Structure 1
Amino acid sequence: MWTADEIAQLCYAHYIKLPKQGKPEPNREWTLLAAVVKIQTPANQACDTPDKQIQVTKEVVSMGTGTKCIGQSKMRESGDILNDSHAEVIARRSFQRCQETLVLPRGFEVQELKIQQSSLLFEQSRCAVHRKRGDSPGRLVPCGAAISWSAVPQQPLDVTANGFPQGTTKKEIGSPRARSRISKVELFRSFQKLLSCIAEDERPDSVRVQKLDTYQEYKEAASAYQEAWSALRRVQPFSSWIRNPPNYHQFK
């Protein structure tokens, strides 16, 4: 159906089209890239014919770049700062922004996890930049900015540095303007807005049978999420995974 190189090429081609904002400085900085790709089979194509190659369409629906965490000393209890700006985290949160959909598309499913290695090299990866620089003087450093891109009609791009939107001043910190659209508090606001659009009797039992108020309470009520994390924490290296203190999840 597809190869690792096809997926990588699709993602790299999409990255090139993004604005320069937040991208590494040429020959001096590097970054990591992650993306979520939607794979769709035409509705009129039979999937039970093993002798025929299935044709699919592939589309990048979210993308993230980044290499850093802000560190515990800079964390905020208000949930308005990005604690983890690694590429895979940015891409996942960007995906949580795709659209405010009440019902998943018919036939939606998550593909079985498979690890595949592409032979293509991301041009702004550490290895590629190092190879291009050769013996040039100067230090090679990770890019300090993180790019969040989502396939949403308005404001698809969100660029952060040190956990806040790029260009944020100290005076602005604490205001809505200083919040990344993929910060916990902003995603929580989107969730609350979505929940308000669902009739009371149609909401999941986990949010209907008890009064929930804070981000932490809603998170604890997500039974499927909690069960998955409990299972994951029983295996290495996640059994020693550092968890944030509860006071960082008490915002409303």
Structure 2
Amino acid sequence: MWSADEIASLCYDHFNKLPKRGKPEEGREWTLLAAVLQLTHSPEHKTVHKQIVSLGTGTKCIGKSVMSMNGDILNDSHAEVIARRGCVRYLMEQLYRAVSGQSSAVFQPGTEKGQWMVKPEVSFLFFTSQTPCGDASIFPMNCNEVQPCKFVKETQNKELERRGSKRTADSDLEEHPRIKTRVGHFIFEKSVDGEEQKSTTENKERSQSEDILKRDLHRTGAKCVPDGPTDPLQPGLLYHNTGLLRLKPGRGDSTLSLSCSDKLARWGVLGFQGALLSHYLQKPIYFSAVVVGKCSYSHQAMVRALNTRCAHVTGLPSGFSTHPPKLLQSCLEFTCNHTHTEVQHTHAQGKISPCGAAISWCAVSQQPLDVTANGYKQGVTKNVLGTPKARSLISKVELFHSFLKLVAVTEQTQLPESLCGKELRTYWDYKQAAGPYQQAWTQLQLQAFPLWCRSPRELLLFH
């Protein structure tokens, strides 16, 4: 009904039709792109209508020292996060239409008081032009790829040999009895066919020890969260551990923004609608598929990062489940990525750098385009910082105000039970009142992500 290349082509075409504002300078700047597509199935005509409902670009995050207590600054402007927040804005408007008696392309009444459900013919998929940062981007390089670090000296080879290090690979293994050995978080296996193969095994292990230094990993700039396991930072395949939560680097200081791999994994359990919308939804909304554009990619690493880490989570409230998306890759490359920018670059343009702006576009009736830089609207002057004029339309406070308008238009008899008879004032209050969502989040933290860094409460007390 659709292909990964078709999805990528739709996203790239949509980006190309957007105004120039916020786009990278050709040959000097690069960026990443992500989008959410709404699929509307028509069994009668055996067709699927594909609509981009949110699109985002961006590569930046702000440090925790400049986070706002007013919810008016975007902490995380990576393309994947921008696209998801734009989709929440779209869903907020669609739910407003449904609640106020207008037609909605997404929602229909649920079976419980004040609850709504996504129409059975509607589903959502996620596209990203690049492998998500963090765990999904850690995997062995191919032999013909440029190595990010130099080979180590012979003395280091011998030292790792002495420690008994083994080789890792991202390839199929032979089908016969094996012993598993863990190096970092990679699993290595060796044959155990008998004592007579001892000499062969020793030679093979020596070769594997040398190979582990000669081969290398794709690296991620995301750092392990504090107070947990860290990366060995050893040469070659021993540089990273896998399966760990990671924080994105910021501008000058550390951030509280988890990697996009971690956030996609979280959305696969809690849904991508967030806590506020969950008040009105009978079930969370999950991505049916994640499509990645042409880039360095490992299906194994994607499965590990997005699906496997949360597959064992149980005890979730009704409606919630581990919901691993289908994972696909396109053969089509984003022309504003780092690779294309390097090809187009000339010496006179100076150093290649990531684009400082982030674009958000979503299928809403008013102001669909929103361009930001450093977490605020692009081009704002210092004297309007802290005012509504400087806010991104997908900032926490703006989405919260959209939610409050939704609550205001809801008839008292149709108000969700979670919002009835409670003294709710702040953003924090409304998020915490979403009981089943918070219960699911607690189970996810306890069983899979105990080290997840959450924003301090004082940053969520705005209204």
Q: Give the CA deviation at 1:56.
A: 0.9
- The answer for the alignment partner of 2:318 in structure 1 is none
What are the within-5 Å matches in structure 2 for residues 113-152 of structure 1? 113-133=325-345, 138-152=350-364
Alignment partner of 1:243 is 2:436: no
> 1:24-54: CA deviations, max 9, x gaps?
1111111111101011112634xxxxxxxx4
Separation in 2 of the partners of 1:43 and 1:197?
A: 34
The correspondence of residues 51-200 of structure 1 with structure 2, limited to 5 A, is 54-98=46-90, 99-102=93-96, 103=98, 104-105=107-108, 106-107=119-120, 108-109=122-123, 110-112=286-288, 113-133=325-345, 138-200=350-412
Corresponding letter in the other structure for 1:6: E
Are the aligned partners of 1:75 and 1:81 in contact in 2 as well (CA < 8 Å)?
yes
- Correspondence 1:205-216 to 2 at 5 A: 205-216=417-428
SS at match of 2:383: coil
Cα separation, partners in 2 of 1:213 and 1:65, compared to 1, 3 Å: same
Q: Distance in 2 between matches of 1:8 and 1:231?
A: 34
Contact 2:356/2:374 (<8 A) preserved: yes
1:21 aligns with 2:14: no
Q: Structure 2 matches for 1:4-15, cutoff 5 A?
A: 4-15=4-15
CA drift of 1:235 comes to 5.4
How far the C-alpha of 1:73 sits from its partner, in A, is: 1.4
Structure 1: 5+ residue stretches without partners: 46-53
What TM-score do you get using the length of structure 2 for normalisation? 0.50
Q: Distance in 2 between matches of 1:243 and 1:111?
A: 23
Gaps of 5+ in 2: 99-106, 109-118, 124-285, 289-324
**Alignment CA distance shift 1:209-1:100 (3 Å):** same
CA shift for structure 1 position 189:
0.4
Q: What's the CA shift string for 1:187-228, capped at 9, x where partnerless?
A: 100000011111122111111132211100101111233233
Q: Secondary structure at the match of 1:44?
A: coil
Task: Give the SS at the match of 2:370.
Answer: strand
Structure label with greater radius of gyration = 2
CA contact (8 A) 1:100 1:194 kept: no
Report % sequence identity. 51
Cα 1:175–1:137 change in 2 (3 A) is closer
For 1:228 and 1:189, locate their aligned partners in 2 and report how far apart those are by CA, in whole Å: 25
The aligned residue for residue 51 of structure 1 is none
Partner of 1:202: 414
Q: d(CA) in 2 for partners of 1:134 and 1:170?
A: 34
Per-residue CA deviations over 1:124-178 (Å, capped at 9, x if unaligned) read 0112222333888732211100001011122110000001000111110111111
Could you tell me how far apart the structure 2 residues matched to 1:111 and 1:24 are?
28
| 2:442 paired residue number | 230
Q: Is the 8 A contact 2:72 2:398 kept in 1?
A: yes
- Structure-1 residue corresponding to 2:430: 218
Residue 247 of structure 2 aligns with which residue? none
- Secondary structure of the corresponding residue to residue 57 of structure 1: strand
One-letter code aligned to 2:30: W
CA contact (8 A) 2:70 2:459 kept: yes
Match of 2:47, SS state, is: coil
Counterparts of 1:205 and 1:20, CA distance in 2: 45
Report deviation, 1:240. 2.2
- Residues 36, 87 of structure 2: 8 Å contact kept: yes
The count of residues paired between Structure 1 and Structure 2 equals: 243
Higher mean C-alpha displacement, 59-68 vs 106-115: 106-115
Using a 3 Å threshold, how does the CA distance of structure 1 residues 203 and 239 change in structure 2: closer, same or farther?
Answer: same
**C-alpha distance in structure 2 between counterparts of 1:229 and 1:117, whole Å:** 29
Q: Is the 8 A contact 1:164 1:179 kept in 2?
A: yes
Sort the Cα spacing of 1:147 and 1:244 in 2 relative to 1 into closer, same or farther, 3 A: same
Query: Is the contact made by 2:82 and 2:360 (CA closer than 8 Å) also made in structure 1?
Result: yes
CA contact (8 A) 2:27 2:343 kept: no
Q: Is the 8 A contact 1:165 1:180 kept in 2?
A: yes
